[in-house]
Structure 1
Amino acid sequence: MKGVIEIESDNWIAQNLQNALNTWNGKLTEIWQLLTQSPETFKGGGIWDVIVNINGTLQAIGYALLVLFFLVGMVKTCGSFVEVRKPEHALKLFVRFAIAKGVITYGLELMMALYTIVQGVVSRIMATSGLGSAGETLLPDAIVTAVENVDFFNSIPLWAVTLIGGILITILSFIMIMSVYGRFFRIYLYTAIAPIPLASFAGEPSQSIGKNFLKSYAAVCLEGAIVVLACVIFTVFAASPPQVDPDANAITMVWTYVAELVFNMLVLVGTIKMSDRVVREMMGL
């Protein structure tokens, strides 16, 4: 589905409002495409290559912290050196150390496996909704006709209404797309710094750091499911646009349409902005 709609009307007021809707439609389509992308292919994969290199470099620091967390945990959990010499305690410490080292070494694969699972959830939501792409918001023909028939003096307040509405729609478009890009950047940040918090699994007292890190990363991934659900709901809204009273004057007609449309957009943008809070409430974080 196209992100930009060609304007059939030559009226500059209708064009002003439709240009704002085109910006909204373009950003909504871009979000729909971003939700189906992997961090490995985002922007050609260049960012992912840098993140992987940083992750590999920080593994050396992770291994050093692994030994530190392991020794601190051993001191706090064992009352004396005699307990360490017991086979059951020694085996438990060895298994913990081996698991922690494996988590650091294969942490990148683990995190990508979590992301793949969430992407499967997102794809299933998209397939179940029956929507191949995000819906487009169109300017009703009744409004275009009413605006084209307005005289010069009545077009002045009408221009002000469409100008305010167009600015609000454009601002909401960029806030929405920035929130989705912000999710991608957080995934990159978590992936790059992963070896350091994952090293905390080496010690029993510090393992909560690693658990919270994985929970937070899973929450960031799940934000994609909340965003796609919000887009699906808004697409249904867009399929049944705000009602327009053909008997009302042009100013009232445009004002009512813009106000209801901006309200629906605010609901979508607010849901996308609060997707992290919604996920954390669901997961009890």
Structure 2
Amino acid sequence: MDFLIDAITEWLKELLISGILSNLSGLFDSVNTRVGEITTQVGLTPQAWNGSIFNMVRNLSNTVILPIAGVILTIVMTLELIQMLTERNNLNDVDTWMFFKWIFKSACAVLIVSNTWNIVMGVFDLTQGVVNSASGVIVGSTSIDFAAIVTDLETQLEAMELGPLLGLWVQSFFVGITMWALSICIFIITFGRMIEIYLVTSVAPIPMAAMLGKEWGGMGQSYLRSLFALGFQAFLIMVCVAIYAVLIRNIGTGGDVSRAIWTCMGYTVLLCFTLFKTGSLAKSVFAAH
């Protein structure tokens, strides 16, 4: 009877060991792929990321939004003229220079609106230049090599009892599902940022039309700050990935398989959390005080 129990136990151990090795062999592959794509994705300008979407958004902005911006610009500058005249003692103290000032502001506003797309893309060219300059300095290897973290893995598993092996299999299975979910989160963050950029730039002429208005000018200033926040969000993402790379290179688990699994998972969860926070952090940096 003992012989039968030992045989069943040995069979279960072999089954669990093969299952654990199978789970761990590709455990971090999807995350490694997504993290490796981050530095490439955030280093692209809107035009380089997807030329077809870029051209579509630009055409929509120029053909649909720009005429609306022209109407808003007319209203804003007309109100600006009326306020400027009424502020001068109800038209009793009117100087010629006031009209030249208004004409100059109107000309500048028209110039800004007509070149909105170039201004917006210039902001992203500037910020992406900063990101690309930093990419070669702060980003290292972000790949999690579990075999390098825990050496002689199969030998350690063979020395374990049936109970710990069962628990380790459950852990590896759960962490595998979590890693799959985290890879989706990283995908959403990187691609969602670019979609947000296209959405924000598509309506660019409207806030830019109010840039030089006395009361409406805050709209344009807030819009420019949001553009810089979106642009420099990529730099913050690069810093997050660089910190993640340093943490991964310095994992010390003493050969403990379970500790290695949860340490790698913890660092990956931390990366996803900080990536989600980069958007609000960048906006807070460029917010008005």
- Which residue number corresponds to residue 104 of structure 1? 113
Assess, with a 3 A threshold, how the Cα gap between structure 1 residues 83 and 171 changes in structure 2: closer, same or farther: farther
Q: Contact 1:25–1:136 (CA<8 Å) still a contact in 2?
A: yes
In the alignment, structure 1 residue 69 sits paired with structure 2 residue 79? no
Q: Contact 1:65–1:196 (CA<8 Å) still a contact in 2?
A: yes
In the alignment, structure 1 residue 159 sits paired with structure 2 residue 166? no
Following superposition, the deviation at residue 152 of structure 1 comes to 5.6
Q: 2:284 aligns with which of 262, 281, 285?
A: 281
Q: 1:180-191 residue pairs with structure 2 within 5 A?
A: 180-191=190-201
Q: 1:200-239 residue pairs with structure 2 within 5 A?
A: 200-239=210-249
In the alignment, structure 1 residue 138 sits paired with structure 2 residue 145? yes
Q: Contact 1:122–1:224 (CA<8 Å) still a contact in 2?
A: yes
- Which residue number corresponds to residue 7 of structure 1? none
Q: 1:81-96 residue pairs with structure 2 within 5 A?
A: 82=91, 86-96=95-105
Q: 1:30 aligns with which of 2, 23, 37?
A: 37
Q: 1:168-183 residue pairs with structure 2 within 5 A?
A: 168-183=178-193
CA deviation vs aligned residue, 1:183-214 (integer Å, no higher than 9, x gap): 11111111111011111125221111101111
Q: 2:59 corresponds to which letter in structure 1? A: N
Q: 2:52 corresponds to which letter in structure 1? A: G
Partners of 2:125 and 2:262 in 1: CA distance = 39
Q: 1:210 corresponds to which letter in structure 2? A: G
- Which residue number corresponds to residue 117 of structure 1? 126
- Which residue number corresponds to residue 267 of structure 1? 270
Partners of 1:109 and 1:236 in 2: CA distance = 38
Q: 1:213 corresponds to which letter in structure 2? A: Y
Q: 1:27-66 residue pairs with structure 2 within 5 A?
A: 27-43=34-50, 45-57=51-63, 58-66=65-73
Gaps of 5+ in 2: 1-16
Q: Contact 1:16–1:162 (CA<8 Å) still a contact in 2?
A: yes
Q: Contact 1:35–1:224 (CA<8 Å) still a contact in 2?
A: yes
Q: 1:13 corresponds to which letter in structure 2? A: I
- Which residue number corresponds to residue 12 of structure 2? none
Q: Contact 1:162–1:254 (CA<8 Å) still a contact in 2?
A: no
Q: 2:62 corresponds to which letter in structure 1? A: G
Following superposition, the deviation at residue 47 of structure 1 comes to 0.7
Q: If the length of structure 1 is used for normalisation, what is the TM-score?
A: 0.85
Q: Contact 2:209–2:220 (CA<8 Å) still a contact in 1?
A: yes
Partners of 2:215 and 2:26 in 1: CA distance = 57
Following superposition, the deviation at residue 84 of structure 1 comes to 9.6
Partners of 1:59 and 1:236 in 2: CA distance = 47
Q: Contact 1:201–1:210 (CA<8 Å) still a contact in 2?
A: yes
Q: 1:37 corresponds to which letter in structure 2? A: L
Q: 1:220 corresponds to which letter in structure 2? A: L
Structure 1 stretch displaced more, 167-176 or 179-188: 167-176
Partners of 1:143 and 1:265 in 2: CA distance = 24
Gaps of 5+ in 1: 1-9, 247-252
Assess, with a 3 A threshold, how the Cα gap between structure 1 residues 192 and 257 changes in structure 2: closer, same or farther: same
Larger Rg: 2
Residue-pair matches, total = 266
Structure 1 stretch displaced more, 273-282 or 221-230: 273-282
Local SS of the residue matching 1:203: coil
Following superposition, the deviation at residue 73 of structure 1 comes to 2.4
In the alignment, structure 1 residue 245 sits paired with structure 2 residue 254? yes
- Which residue number corresponds to residue 13 of structure 1? 20
Q: If the length of structure 2 is used for normalisation, what is the TM-score?
A: 0.84
RMSD over aligned Cα, in angstroms?
Answer: 2.2
